[in-house]
Structure 1
Amino acid sequence: MNIKRTIGKRPPLFQKLLFSYRKRFQPDVITMEHGIRLAVPKTLPEDMRKILYKEQHELPELELILTCLEPEDKVLEIGSGVGMVATTCACICGARNVTCYEPNPNTIDVIRRNFDLNGLKVDLRVRALTTKKGTVNFYFSENIVSSSLIDQAFGGETEVKCDDIGDVVKELQPTTIVMDVEGAEIDLLPKADLSSVKKIVVEMHPNIVGADKIQALHTHLENQGLLYKKDLCRSKVAYFER
Structure 2
Amino acid sequence: MNLSNQQVTLNHGVGAGLKFHGDGSNPDFARGTYELPLQNALASCLNRDHIFYDIGANIGFFTIIAAKLVGPSGQVYAFEPVPNNADIIRRNVELNSFSNVTVFPQAVSESTGTGELLLAHHSGGATLATAGTPPDLRGEMTVDLVCIDDLVSQKTLKPPTVVKIDVEGAEINVLRGMIQTIKEYQPILIYEVDDGNQESFKLKNQTIEIFIDSLGYKIMPLEPAYPNIPWYVGHAIAFSKLN
TM-score interval, normalised by the smaller of the two chains = 0.7 to 0.9
- Which runs of 5 or more structure 2 residues have no equivalent in the other structure? 226-233
Structure-2 residue corresponding to 1:89: 66
Q: Does 1:214 align with 2:214?
A: no
CA root-mean-square deviation: 2.4
What aligned pairs does 1:144-163 form with structure 2 within 5 A after superposition?
A: 144-149=123-128, 150=131, 151-152=133-134, 154-163=137-146
Cα distance 1:111–1:211, how it changes in 2: closer, same or farther (>3 A)?
same
Q: Identity across aligned pairs (percent)?
A: 24
Deviation at 1:207, TM superposition (A): 4.3
Aligned length: 215
1:164 maps to which residue? 147
Residue 235 (structure 2) aligns with: 237
Indicate conservation of the 8 Å contact 2:117/2:141, yes or no: yes
Separation in 1 of the partners of 2:111 and 2:176?
A: 13
- Higher helix fraction (1 or 2): 1
Bigger Rg, structure 1 or 2: 1
SS in 1 for 2:118: strand
Structure 2 length-normalised TM:
0.78
Structure 1 residue 240, shift from structure 2 partner: 0.6
Correspondences of 1:75-154 after superposition (within 5 Å):
75-94=52-71, 96-121=74-99, 122-149=101-128, 150=131, 151-152=133-134, 154=137
Aligned to 2:17: 35
Deviation at 1:210, TM superposition (A): 4.1
Deviations 1:128-166 (A, max 9, x none): 111121211111222212111133351221111111232
Map of 1:179 onto structure 2: 165
- Find the partner of 1:204 among 193, 211, 234: 193
Pick closer, same or farther for the CA change 1:57–1:139 going to 2, 3 Å.
farther
In structure 2, the CA distance between the partners of 1:184 and 1:30, relative to structure 1 (3 Å rule), is same
Whole-Å separation in 2 of the counterparts to 1:26 and 1:99? 24
**Which residue does the alignment assign to 1:3?**
none
Q: Output the CA distance in 1 between the equivalents of 2:48 and 2:224.
A: 22
Name structure 1 gaps, 5 residues minimum.
1-21
1:186 is displaced (CA, Å) by 1.8
| Higher mean displacement: 157-166 or 213-222 | 213-222
**What is residue 228 of structure 2 aligned with on the other side?**
none
